[in-house]
Amino acid sequence: MVSRLDKREFFVDPLDVGLRIDRWLGDTLEEMTRSGVQKLCEDGFVLVGGKPVNKNYKLRLKDNVTVILPEAKILDIAAQNIPITIVYEDDDLLVVNKPKGMVVHPAPGNYDGTLVNALLYHCEGRLSSINGVIRPGIVHRIDKDTSGLLIVAKNDHAHTHLGQQIKAHSFTRIYNGVVYGRFSQESGVIDAPIGRNPADRKKMCVTEKNSRCAVTHYQVLEPLKGFTHLRFTLETGRTHQIRVHMAFVGHPIAGDPAYGPKKVITQLNGQCLHARTIGFVHPTTGKYMEFTSELPPYYTDFLKSVKLT
């Protein structure tokens, strides 16, 4: 028998008709990767109208999609005693302040030194199993060279509850970033859909084809020499969203090797972007919680180097 927490049902709306089911579920189940969804399809755990479908099934209007999440396999990723900064912890979750340069979870060819390796040691394996052996506990991600806060679930109940908040866009995520150029407006909204870049599958881009809605709010914090310090509030959480949106409007993130200018700022060792504030409703207590982290030294040092006075 599969418990209610292991079974999820969705209905297809007109905007999603024609999409491949693996891509759609990869975006809908924001705590899972597309490859993870494809594996579920291969194993017969993705149903439409009660019947298993292949990963390339094209959605039809009002399809009833059921996803069954099987019991987790025994974790085979090594626990490693890697120091991590825990901002908050209880029996359900942790809030971690990830340093710049740390990969969140293992991937083929990179199974050591990640945040997941550190979490397995710290939590003694007590992490949610929804994302399987590679991403235990990981509800959402931030890029390797983006610093800052992210939440980790210790059990499937917490993971499911937090994932639903992300899907409903009720999850608070505020970033600080330094971008190229100056702004004529003090604030604005970038509403531009994001999908995989057809010319480079490792990158994302603003596109109407096979894309998902993406909305980023920005506010100017301080003008700088050739740059601007901004605050970003995410309404959605697409892959590389802030980096893609800022490049799209002609103000890429300083130091961004993928979406910035060819002559990238090497002193930053990656984009100058920090996940500063995170807020959510606690899955057990029902109380809203919010945490903010200080800007790290790499960030504040760069700010000092480009100040106007």
Contacts for 229 with CB less than 8 Å, ≥ 6 apart: 176, 177, 178, 220, 221, 222, 223, 303
Residue 101 backbone class (left: φ over 0; alpha: ψ -120 to 50; beta: rest): left
State the DSSP code for 119.
Answer: H
Spatial distance between the Cα atoms of 80 and 210, rounded to a whole number of angstroms: 39
Calpha distance 31→138 (Å, rounded): 7
- In DSSP terms, which residues pair with 120 in a beta bridge? none
Phi/psi-derived region of residue 246, left when phi > 0, alpha when psi is between -120 and 50, beta in every other case: alpha
Q: Give the whole-angstrom CA distance, residue 218 versus residue 134.
A: 33
Alpha helices for the chain (secondary structure H) = 21-28, 34-42, 115-122, 156-167, 241-248, 297-305
Q: Is the distance from CB of 163 to CB of 139 less than 8 angstroms?
A: yes
CA 218 to chain centre: 18
Burial 158-185 (b: 16+ CB within 10 A, else e): bbbbbbbbbbeeebbbbbbbbbbeebee
Q: Would residue 143 show up in a list of annotated catalytic residues for this protein?
A: yes
Q: Is residue 302 classed exposed, middle or buried when 0-12, 13-18 and 19+ CB atoms within 10 A define those classes?
A: buried
- CA nearest 33: which of 137, 131, 176, 117? 131
Catalytic residue chosen out of the listed positions 22, 63, 143, 256: 143
Known catalytic residues? 143
